[in-house]
């Protein structure tokens, strides 16, 4: 007899939860917010919006299904099963936080605050969750397959990201490395480089592209193509600036050879979850085999 489906609900602590953990009482939290020109009412409203969305999602889970909940801070310690259905309730960035821990499980992104969130990765309103869950369970759902990016160090360490991978110095100051793109190669000193997917092309990548006045066409979320940009490359007798942007096709990779100790690699802006490469180690960045399956 097969097990009933399991729905995993992913969310994060609200700002009110964090304020109460830090200041202990609502009165102290209110005083702290007032000193910064904010009100507790605003924070309460956002707290209630998330809790209402979570209540709606929980109520939609069939009674005979298994269920689990995990907060963002515990994702690296949670074991997803191959047949899980994942409901992410929160901001778009929370989906990116979850994506690297999944291996093709369907994801339903639920937006508790449509007036605040773009809703790119959380396109589902709480009221629409139940019918979409039925479609996912019956196999009738439509999916958006979003490309991911992978970084692998030559000692076997690797990480995945939905938006982008950053390679550089931990302080974002000058990092020295050798960059190899296709047949071209250059020794560089820069504030780091990013390799972005089409999902990331709406965020940090777009900002870097605009500031550098790039003419590269940024990829769409479902394209297998990636783009990369070097930030603030420094020209010197020993370092160059001719390789500062490019794209990677389906089977192409960018290689970075560390010429300093402590070169860090992290994805989706989460610096605490990072890899560290020492002098002479090679980092290969390419399109990941895994994709995010986002139910629509």
Last residue of a domain, one of 120, 141, 162: 141
pLDDT value for 1? 53
Mean pLDDT value of segment 8-32:
91
Q: How far apart are CA 82 and CA 106, in angstroms?
A: 10
pLDDT value for 132? 97
Query: Residue 155, class by beta-carbon neighbours within 10 Å (0-12 exposed, 13-18 middle, 19+ buried)?
Result: exposed
Whether the pLDDT of residue 9 is over 90: the answer is yes
Indicate if 171 and 228 belong to the same structural domain: yes
Other CB atoms within a 10 A radius of the CB of residue 78 amount to 14
101: domain CATH number is 3.40.50
Indicate if 45 and 84 belong to the same structural domain: yes
pLDDT value for 184? 93
Whether the pLDDT of residue 172 is over 80: the answer is no
The CA-based dihedral angle spanning residues 225, 231, 237, 243, taken in that order and rounded to the nearest 10 degrees: 10
Indicate if 50 and 122 belong to the same structural domain: yes
Evaluate whether residue 1 is within a structural domain: no
Last residue of a domain, one of 91, 123, 141: 141
With H, G, I as helix, E, B as strand and everything else as coil, classify residue 92. helix
* % of residues, the chain, pLDDT over 70: 100
Structural domain for 239, as ranges: 147-290
Mean pLDDT value of segment 251-255:
95
Structural domain count, the chain = 2
Mean pLDDT value of segment 266-274:
87
Q: How far apart are CA 28 and CA 291, in angstroms?
A: 44
Whether the pLDDT of residue 119 is over 90: the answer is no
Indicate if 29 and 108 belong to the same structural domain: yes
Q: How far apart are CA 200 and CA 165, in angstroms?
A: 10
**DSSP H helical ranges for 198-291:** 204-211
pLDDT value for 116? 86
Q: pLDDT higher for 119 or 7?
A: 7
Instruction: Give 161's Cβ-side CA count (13 Å radius).
Output: 31
Place of tokens 């990779």: 253
Across the chain, mean pLDDT equals: 93
Instruction: Give 19's Cβ-side CA count (13 Å radius).
Output: 20
pLDDT value for 270? 83
Mean pLDDT value of segment 217-228:
92
Confidence of residue 203 (pLDDT cuts 50, 70, 90): confident
* CB-CB contact of 19 with 32 (8 Å): yes
Indicate if 55 and 94 belong to the same structural domain: yes
272: domain CATH number is 2.60.200.30
Indicate if 113 and 175 belong to the same structural domain: no
Last residue of a domain, one of 141, 172, 190: 141
DSSP characters over 37-79: T--HHHHHHHHHHHHHHHHHHHHHS-TTSEEEEEEGGGGGG--
pLDDT value for 51? 95
């Amino acid at each position: 007899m097969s097990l009933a489906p399991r729905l995993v609900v992913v969310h994060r602590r609200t700002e009110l939860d964090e304020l109460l953990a830090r200041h202990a009482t609502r009165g102290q939290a209110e005083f702290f917010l007032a000193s910064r020109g904010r009100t507790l009412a605003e924070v309460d409203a956002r707290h209630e919006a998330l809790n209402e969305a979570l209540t709606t999602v929980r109520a939609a889970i069939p009674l005979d299904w298994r269920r689990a909940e995990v907060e963002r801070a515990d994702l690296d310690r949670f074991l997803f099963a191959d047949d899980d259905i994942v409901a992410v309730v929160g901001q778009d960035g929370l989906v990116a936080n979850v994506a690297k821990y999944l291996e093709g499980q369907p994801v339903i992104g639920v937006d508790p605050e449509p007036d605040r969130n773009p809703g790119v990765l959380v396109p589902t309103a709480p009221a629409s969750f139940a019918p979409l869950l039925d479609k996912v369970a019956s196999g009738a759902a439509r999916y958006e397959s979003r490309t991911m990016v992978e970084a692998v160090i030559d000692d076997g360490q690797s990480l995945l990201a939905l938006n982008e991978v950053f390679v550089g110095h931990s302080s974002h100051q000058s990092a020295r490395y050798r960059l190899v793109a296709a047949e071209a190669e250059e020794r560089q000193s820069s504030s780091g480089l990013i390799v972005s997917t089409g999902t990331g092309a709406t965020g940090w990548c777009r900002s870097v592209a605009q500031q550098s006045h790039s003419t590269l066409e940024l990829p769409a979320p479902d394209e297998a193509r990636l783009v990369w940009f070097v930030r603030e490359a420094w020209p010197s007798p020993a370092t160059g600036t001719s390789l500062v942007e490019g794209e990677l096709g389906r089977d192409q990779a960018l290689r970075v050879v560390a010429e300093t100790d402590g070169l860090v690699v992290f994805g989706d802006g989460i610096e605490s979850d990072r890899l560290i490469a020492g002098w002479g180690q090679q980092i290969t960045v390419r399109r990941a085999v895994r994709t995010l399956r986002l139910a629509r």
